[in-house]
Structure 1
Amino acid sequence: MANIQKKRDFSSTMRSSNSQFLPSDHAPERPVKVGFVLLEHFSLMAFTAAVDTLVTANLVRTAPLFEHITLGVDSRKALSDLGIEIATNATLEHFAIEHRGSIDILIVCGGFRCELNQNSKLTETLKAADKLGLTLGGIWNGSIAIAHAGLLNDQPCAAHPDNHAFIREQFPLVQLADTALVMADKRASCAGPVSALQMMLTLVDQYYGEDTTRAIREILSCDQVAESGGKMKLQAGDNPTHPENLRSFMQLMNNNIEEPLTLEELAAHVGISRRQMERLFQTHLETSPSRYYLELRITHARRLLLQTNESITNVALASGFVSTSHFSNCYKDYFGVSPTAARAKK
């Protein structure tokens, strides 16, 4: 009887780095559809942060997770705060006729110079969306439109600090938060571009879970500057809260891909026993040092394979594999296809 080789699963630390290239266990019945209402002078930076989250979600999974459309209030174009005009997919009128039944989330995108007075068309659209059970969101001061529709009474809400006085005066029943982001039942609001990204990540997590969110964050937040020292965290899985010894091991492995160190050599470099090293990895990464090292190398190989024209033999050697056959077997174990097939699909 032929041996059936069991597919390997990446440990949680490395899974997000490779999620786009792994066979999908299940695809959603249909993508979650998000509508963005662009107010005149909306914040382009906040809007693109929100949309980029959804686009990246589709990139880190083999099946599309989200669709999005843009909506103009009165016309099929909206002027951003940077003076760049955006052509929208539809107007609120067309939304009511063509798109309302297919939208799951409706988000109003505001900005520093957006009009704060009530717009009757937008109020009617938001009330209709609420009756259909849609999640309603506001970016910058977009939540003011939701408040005008009476849909934030006795509910928490986040907004740009410049609009706090207006909200307190005009909407005494709204529970204005002193935080940049508020997530509540069927409601989401944020104060600006950075919190817009976080708001969308939270919504993604609600629909598709932590693994997808982690994969998106790894791509979009790779250049986030740490408060201490201004250093950038570029290595996948690096976490400033991890013990220093563990981070040293991870860095040593990352710096020695082509000629891997033995576990004994790693332990000697850091100055602790192999047993202590194994305990660190199991406690904080829920994996063993050898498995983490292998997954780091196979991830490095996947990048070289798909991003360069190097031969498969050279990719294997550059990733610390002693033979092409061993590399091919490991690659297929993790990704479900051979290196040759993966490159052909590229």
Structure 2
Amino acid sequence: MADKPLQNQRKFDSRLRHSNQPHLPGQPAEGIPTTIHRRIGFLLLEHFSMMAFTGAVDAIVTANLVSGKPLYSFETYSLEGSTVRSDLAINISVDGDLRSIPVKTLDVLIVCGGYRSKLEPARPTVEKLREAARHRVMLGGLWNGSYLLAHAGLLDGYACTVHPDSRAGLEEVCPQVKLLAQPFVIDRDRISSAGANSALSMMLAVIRNHHGEEVVRGVEEILSCDRTLDDLPDLPMTALADDPTLPAALSTVLQLMKNNIEEPLSIDDLAQHAQVSRRQIDRMFQRYMNTTPARYYLETRITRARRLLQQTNEPITSIAIACGFSGAPHFSRCYREFFGVSPSQVGARRRRP
């Protein structure tokens, strides 16, 4: 199947733009905002859940990577001292203590608790949280962090969630809080997650509210590659072809494209293997992939080439052939049109100390 010149088009049309976005030049992908920057503070309690904390942070750091712009920044704080001990017995250095939390300039303040974290906040903690609320800072809790917010009276009339082990105490002490048995809850300017796994999901929901679906899809493309539909460890990692919302014929074509990169099949051959007409394939790609079959096939191959360039020391000619291009000059031209740099420049960056 012959490739046509891209005529200086650098934009990925299909969902492959999500995984390629951090490597593209110029402006972020269409639909991703560039000017909004939010500042998030994490108040780490002693024995806080490291997994819950890193899940939340991973979401916002990856959102920055996907957007190509700093959508978020974050700082960490302790109740006192320069370090906090996590539930893994690892001491984490923080940016400041409770007194230094800049509530006037924060957009979000999240209390990170853990299975062994103390749930009786001292008066300075309560006062700092109430000060943040007065400045209309979004408040949140990870694991049992929302227990402290409730104790400060900042969840009265709000819905929230908490780790099951802390549920009974919260129901008894703060009956005015609407406690839900859900992995995470977002109620206006209050957010909460019940455990380690749901912290990532909660932050993705926050990012979706702030910046839309496009950013979240990009984050999920990077962070959710090992999540299966049934969450079973022995199932293969899901790919776009496994998306249950896609028609079976389209999934077949996507899998064929993925399996035939070095010697690309013609669109007619793909239609024959999938037992559909060429016209049906065109319609499915326009509806579900927002592009043509030929364009998507090229994007699949150029994405594969980008990964090989960044992760191996193979010669450019070998990579070009392995990805179905007729030769190194044609491949180099296509690569530059997508990524703004030549394949040789990518190799030079890899070798640079």
TM over 0.5: yes
Q: Which amino acid aligns with 2:56?
A: A
Query: What is the root-mean-square deviation of aligned Cα atoms in Å?
Result: 2.2
Match in the other structure for 2:163: 160
Q: Percent of pairs identical after alignment?
A: 45
1:67 aligns with one of 54, 70, 73: 73
Deviation per residue, 1:196-222 (Å, 9 max, x gap): 001111222233332221121111111
Compute the displacement of 1:167 (Å): 1.6
Deviation per residue, 1:78-115 (Å, 9 max, x gap): 222222222222100122xxx33332211001111221
Q: Which amino acid aligns with 1:14?
A: L
Q: In 1, Cα distance between the equivalents of 2:318 and 2:268?
A: 27
1:120 paired to 2:123: yes
Q: In 1, Cα distance between the equivalents of 2:143 and 2:285?
A: 41
Greater CA deviation, 293-302 or 265-274? 265-274
Q: Which amino acid aligns with 1:19?
A: Q
Q: In 1, Cα distance between the equivalents of 2:230 and 2:88?
A: 29
Q: In 2, Cα distance between the equivalents of 1:6 and 1:315?
A: 22
Query: TM-score, normalised on structure 1?
Result: 0.91
1:45 paired to 2:68: no
Greater CA deviation, 327-336 or 67-76? 327-336
Structure 1 residues 279 and 30, CA gap change in structure 2 (3 angstroms): closer
The unaligned stretches of length 5 or more in structure 2 are: 1-5
Compute the displacement of 1:6 (Å): 4.1
Structure 1 residues 59 and 238, CA gap change in structure 2 (3 angstroms): farther
Q: In 1, Cα distance between the equivalents of 2:37 and 2:327?
A: 42
Match in the other structure for 2:24: 22
SS of the aligned residue for 1:101 comes to coil
Compute the displacement of 1:21 (Å): 1.1
Q: In 2, Cα distance between the equivalents of 1:237 and 1:148?
A: 48
Compute the displacement of 1:253 (Å): 0.5
Q: In 1, Cα distance between the equivalents of 2:36 and 2:231?
A: 43
Match in the other structure for 1:306: 310
In the alignment, is the contact (CA less than 8 A) between 1:73 and 1:92 conserved in 2? yes
In the alignment, is the contact (CA less than 8 A) between 1:160 and 1:192 conserved in 2? yes
Q: In 2, Cα distance between the equivalents of 1:42 and 1:263?
A: 54
Mapping of residues 97-246 of structure 1, within 5 Å:
99-227=102-230, 230-236=234-240, 238-246=242-250
In the alignment, is the contact (CA less than 8 A) between 2:103 and 2:137 conserved in 1? no
Aligned length: 340
SS of the aligned residue for 1:36 comes to strand
In the alignment, is the contact (CA less than 8 A) between 1:106 and 1:135 conserved in 2? yes
Structure 1 residues 288 and 251, CA gap change in structure 2 (3 angstroms): same
1:77 paired to 2:80: no
Structure 1 residues 186 and 198, CA gap change in structure 2 (3 angstroms): same
Match in the other structure for 2:15: 13
Deviation per residue, 1:41-91 (Å, 9 max, x gap): 211111111112222223334333322211111222222222222222210
Q: In 2, Cα distance between the equivalents of 1:277 and 1:30?
A: 39
Match in the other structure for 1:331: 335
Greater CA deviation, 215-224 or 281-290? 281-290
Mapping of residues 274-293 of structure 1, within 5 Å:
274-293=278-297
Q: In 2, Cα distance between the equivalents of 1:294 and 1:234?
A: 21
SS of the aligned residue for 1:240 comes to coil
Greater CA deviation, 234-243 or 68-77? 234-243
SS of the aligned residue for 1:227 comes to coil
Query: TM-score, normalised on structure 2?
Result: 0.89
Q: In 2, Cα distance between the equivalents of 1:228 and 1:281?
A: 29
The unaligned stretches of length 5 or more in structure 1 are: none
Structure 1 residues 320 and 274, CA gap change in structure 2 (3 angstroms): same
SS of the aligned residue for 2:41 comes to strand
